[in-house]
Structure 1
Amino acid sequence: MSLQDRIISHFSDSQQIQQDSLSSLTEIIEFASQRLVSTLLNDKKILVCAHGRAIACAQLLVSALLNQYDRERPALPIIALYNDSVTMTAIAGDYHFDDIFSKQIRTLGQAGDILVTYSDGQQMSNLAKAINVAHDKEISVIAFTNSNETMLSTLLDETDIELHIPTSHSAYALESQVLITHCLCDLIDHQLFG
């Protein structure tokens, strides 16, 4: 296979995963955006945790809501739980790496907030613990998952939303997470600001 054929293959495979995601997730993405808007309208906040390469996707959501997505508008309350390396390494050193998000959620989270988790399909025990603590605090969850993951899906309850990307290929799953994140940002802006 030539280099150009490999490039064409990457584009084609990515487009197919995104088309599959569109077919299975359109209503769920709409519902997730409505849940996020409802949280914000009730003067609650969005907490976001992610690990590995999925942090890049999560950061798109955080920066778009704190700053702007497509137009100037007021900042929206969102907290990235993965940004403070001092706190994360202190928690990991004093307790365990699995606690880096759950300890922050236990302290910063309030009933009615919403937790958004992004996973790249690797080492999910810290996200699993975050979801469990969120449930203890009456915080609902929106979880980005892919076909490499089964553990997170089993932890979600009826008030949670799973945005499941139908692939086990991490890079393509991340590409779809970026697109879905952009959809969420647009839908939030549209619902809140017309």
Structure 2
Amino acid sequence: MNNLELLRNALNDHQNVMKQLESLLPQIDTVGQVMRECLQRGNKILLMGNGGSAADSQHIAAEIVGRYKRERRGLPAIALTTDTSILTAVGNDYGFDYVFSRQVEALCDPQDVVVGISTSGNSGNVVKAIEVAKQIGAITVLFSGGSGGKLADMCDYALVMPSKETARIQEAHLFIAHSVCEIMDVE
């Protein structure tokens, strides 16, 4: 297979996943409304994930705190992936599975929205954080792929991408993140 064939196949796979997102639009709308209502109540959004999903968490938090399209005041969102001192201290003292749950324990209030991003739906540290968020009374949202893994049944809202391929799942997550930001930006 030459490079052009490789690229055409990747583009076709991407387009097929994006077309299948049509069936998730009602769920995406609901999650956007839930997040918008959270911010309107004066609550905050906490986001987490590993690797590319950590970057997605930071991207979404930046769109919420900064702005998406329209000028507005900054809104409260925190990517739990950014504080290296917390991540390394908790990872060292408690283990990597606790790097997000300790932050949720410390920062989360009832009715906050906690977003776990895990392409497999099985990331141990996201699972533990969602467990803590549920105990606190937060609203939990999952961005995942494949079957949605363990987290799909744990979260109040599970947006499971119709793919098993990490790259395609992450591409769909970005579309959903921007879609949710679009909904949150409506006055």
The two structures have a TM-score, normalised by structure 1, of 0.92
Instruction: Indicate whether 1:21 and 2:26 are aligned.
Output: no
> In 2, distance between residues paired with 1:123 and 1:145?
9
Question: In the TM superposition, what are the counterparts of 1:117-156 in structure 2 within 5 Å?
Answer: 117-121=116-120, 124-147=123-146, 149-156=148-155
Q: Is the 8 A contact 2:96 2:125 kept in 1?
A: yes
Does residue 185 of structure 2 align to residue 186 of structure 1? no
Give how far 1:154 is off: 2.7
What's the offset of the Cα at 1:60? 1.9
CA contact (8 A) 1:53 1:120 kept: no
Q: After superposition, what is the alpha-carbon deviation per residue over 1:56-79, rounded to whole angstroms, capped at 9, x for unaligned?
A: 222221111111111221100111
- Match of 1:116, SS? strand
Identity of aligned residues (%): 29
- The CA RMSD over aligned residues, in Å, is 1.3
Letter in 1 for 2:179: C
Cα distance in 2 for partners of 1:176, 1:117 equals 15
Distance (Å, rounded) in 2 between the aligned partners of 1:74 and 1:127: 29
Deviation at 1:148, TM superposition (A): 5.8
2:157 maps to amino acid:
I
What whole-Å deviation, never above 9, does each CA across 1:66-124 have from its counterpart, x for those lacking one?
A: 11111221100111111001111100100111110111111111111110111132860
Q: Give unmatched runs, 5+ long, in structure 2.
A: none
Aligned to 1:41: 40
Whole-angstrom CA distance in 1 between matches of 2:153 and 2:178:
26
Question: TM-score scaled to structure 2, two decimals?
Answer: 0.96
Please give the alpha-carbon distance, in whole angstroms, between the structure 2 residues aligned to 1:56 and 1:120. 13
1:157-168 to structure 2, matched below 5 A, reads 160-168=156-164
Matched residue, 1:106: 105
Q: Equivalent residue of 1:129, what SS?
A: helix
Which aligned pairs between 1:5-16 and structure 2 lie closer than 5 A?
A: 5-16=5-16
Counterpart amino acid of residue 175 in structure 2: L
1:61 is aligned to 2:57: no
Any unmatched runs of 5+ in structure 1?
Answer: none
